[in-house]
Structure 1
Amino acid sequence: AGPVTVTGLEEESGQPDREIISLLRQMGAKIEKSPKGITACPGPLRGITKEMSGCPDLLPPLAVAMAFAEGESRLTGAARLRLKESDRLAGMAALLRTLGGRVEEEPDGLVIAGGGLRGGTAEPCGDHRLAMAAGVAALACSAPVTVKNVECVGKSYPDWWARLTEPDRAVK
């Protein structure tokens, strides 16, 4: 997979989502800032442990990154994700397994064995964040990914699929 650029996310902002930048850096990702946005460059990642109570919405994309890391990663403090549009912990575990990942579900989080994802058909359980995570996973899977019920992203980001599939893979 090539680099992925995100616009509208600033390291200095008050958004909890900004923490993805420092988490990816902890995992060993090369992150570049430019006038275009923030770019995550391809490269090796290592597993980390992260307590998620302060940024639970980051669990799906972070879990995808962890599936491609070397070694084991742990996400804890996320029991409230069982009460979202879906049981987001169970849904994320199932999604990763469907794509070839190795993951254990715990009461308040996930344990993810890195090594990559191969591809397959992802069922996001009607959850917009799980569908978007499947789209991000597709960028790096070794085989195609089909995401069912793609329209569920309309709840939060109607242009998600168009942005994700732009030639430069810039997510805006």
Structure 2
Amino acid sequence: MTARKTAAPAPPTSAVAADAHWAATRERLMARARPVLKLTICDDDEAKQAVHVARLAERQAKSEAERTPEDTAAQAAHRAAVTALADAQAALDAVSIPLRFQALDRKTYKALVAAHRPTEEQAEEGYEFNVDTLGPILIAASSLDGITEEDAQTYLDTWATSEAQALLNTAFGVQREERMDLGKG
């Protein structure tokens, strides 16, 4: 799927002529895609462990190769470890299920939150929305992989609590994903 974007109005010609740098910056700002987060699901513990072991072996081989750059055996061992790590990662990727979520535009997200007011009990606990009704809708709306509301509800109802929470956290987290740095100018 492609990233969702909205068309932006063109700046006044006089403003572009007055500040071409700002026009280029503005164009880049208007072309930004909303944030995307990925949740990777893998039930194969052996594949995960194989990547962990291969990563450790690669780090050790790299350290040895950097310590002894003239040692051709150490250099070859590092190359072999890099290949083994890539193979283990490819095997893990093959058995994993990646789910991608993209932030909704601000107005859509606010409308969804407003449409799912918290219950009295949830409001007393400090909730700003009803996570039980908003959760599956937000998962479906932000999914780049076509998860339906029905599928989302099924996952939330049947997965282990921590896994269902991870799914919810990813759908909500992408709405709050920040890619800005408020550093010194």
TM range (shorter): under 0.3
Relative to its length, the structure with more helix (as a share) is 2
- Please state which structure has a larger fraction of its residues in strand: 1
Name which one, 1 or 2, has greater alpha-carbon Rg.
2
Under a length normalisation based on structure 2, what TM-score does the superposition of the two structures give?
A: 0.23
Normalised by the length of structure 1, the TM-score is 0.24
Q: Which has the higher contact order (CA 8 A, sep 6+)?
A: 2
